[in-house]
Structures are given as C-alpha cells and as structure tokens.
Chain A
C-alpha cells in the first residue's frame, strides 16, 4: 500500500523568498504523483502532476516539483513567493495500476510573511 509523508506541517516564508515543501512517498509499484493547493474555505486545485517522462514538472502559479525515484521524493518549489500563495498544500500519490485510491499527505500550511 502506498503512503505519503509531508514532513513540515507549517512553513512560514518571507514574501519574495524561495520556498520548498517536502514530500516523500512509499510504494511497492510505480506511482503517479500530484501536488494540490487548498485556499481557505475552498476545495482542492491541482498545481502539478508527474505521470512519466521528465522528472522536473512545472505547474501553475510558478510552482515546480522534481521527482526523485531513488529518494522517493517529490518536493515542491517556488523561487519567489507572494502573499497570494498563502494556502495549504497537499502531496498525493496514486499507483499506476489498480484502484482509484489517491493517497494524500497530511498537508503543509504555507504562510507568507509580508
């Protein structure tokens, strides 16, 4: 069974500084990886996904993530954050084959300090 670990529950960052949100996963088979963002009192929105191919994936709002198979990681990065990036970020994993189950991490709350 797959699992996802987001090591940081809260990350405060100054505006215009870079940020990295960490995600590690565990699975016995190949996986697809996702990052979702949840703004206050809203549903989740897909930021980016890794299905196959290039390990560096670019998403919306200037975010990118790198799939590292040897370290089973899929860290999310942004070179310069804005106040509008304040939200909760969820990493998720799905096995390539099998059922519909999308396993989410516990989330990282990103707070941007003006």
Chain B
C-alpha cells in the first residue's frame, strides 16, 4: 500500500492563480481531510469528507474548494491564490466512524508570491 499520497511536493504560485492539490489514498478509508500547517499554529482543518459525494467545512475553509467523487481521491482547489495561503498542506484519511487514527500524506509546500 502506498498509503496517502500528495502531489505536487512543492509549488510556487503568483497571486490570483489557481491550482489543485492532489490527494489519493489506497486504504479504502471513508474519511479524508485537508489541513494546513503554519509556524506556531499547529495544524488547522480546512475541509473534510465522510464519504464519496459528502464534504463539509472545517476551521479555515475560505479560499478553498473540495469535492469527493471517488473514495480514493480528495483534491483541494485554490481558486485565486493569496499570499495568506502560503503554507504546508497535509491530506489525511481514516477508516471510519470508530477508527480514530489518521494517516497523513507527506505534505505539499505552497508559496504564493
């Protein structure tokens, strides 16, 4: 199993550009989440999904869109990048309602200039 994979590893965007961060898992997990990690702030939940076709907002959803058309994939879209979105983004998945261990991907380091 590859676990949780994320692409790209690094990305530099100009303000106003759009892009999609990819996340995939091969563990057949129901739950998937996106977090951002900023210095001195820990990880904050952006969006999450409890199954294909179901998504919900987390703590810091503004400026990001998600969709979940398959169990395996959970892409995160930045529609118009802003310098405040410079961060490290982590995707995570977990098995289901009673399994609380989250498996994290290796992260995407995004810089918006």
Contacts and interface: CB of A to CB of B under 8 A. Distances in A.
Interface of A: 4, 9, 32, 34, 36, 41-46, 49, 51, 90, 94, 99-102, 104-107
Contacts, number: 51
8 contacts: A34-B100, A41-B106, A43-B104, A46-B102, A94-B100, A101-B45, A104-B43, A106-B41
B48 interface: yes
Interface in B42-100: 42-45, 48, 50, 56, 58-59, 90, 92, 100
Given A46-B101, A46-B102, A99 B56 contact: yes
B104 A45 contact: yes
A49 B105 contact: no
B45 to A, nearest CB: 6
Interface of B is mostly: strand
Interface residues of B, number: 23
B33 interface: yes
B64 to A, nearest CB: 15
Contact of B106 (A43, A49, A90, A100): A43
Contacts of B56: 99-100
B33 A100 contact: yes
B50 A100 contact: yes
A-B CB proximity, top 3 nearest: A43-B104, A104-B42, A104-B43
Given A90-B42, A104-B42, A104-B44, A43 B33 contact: no
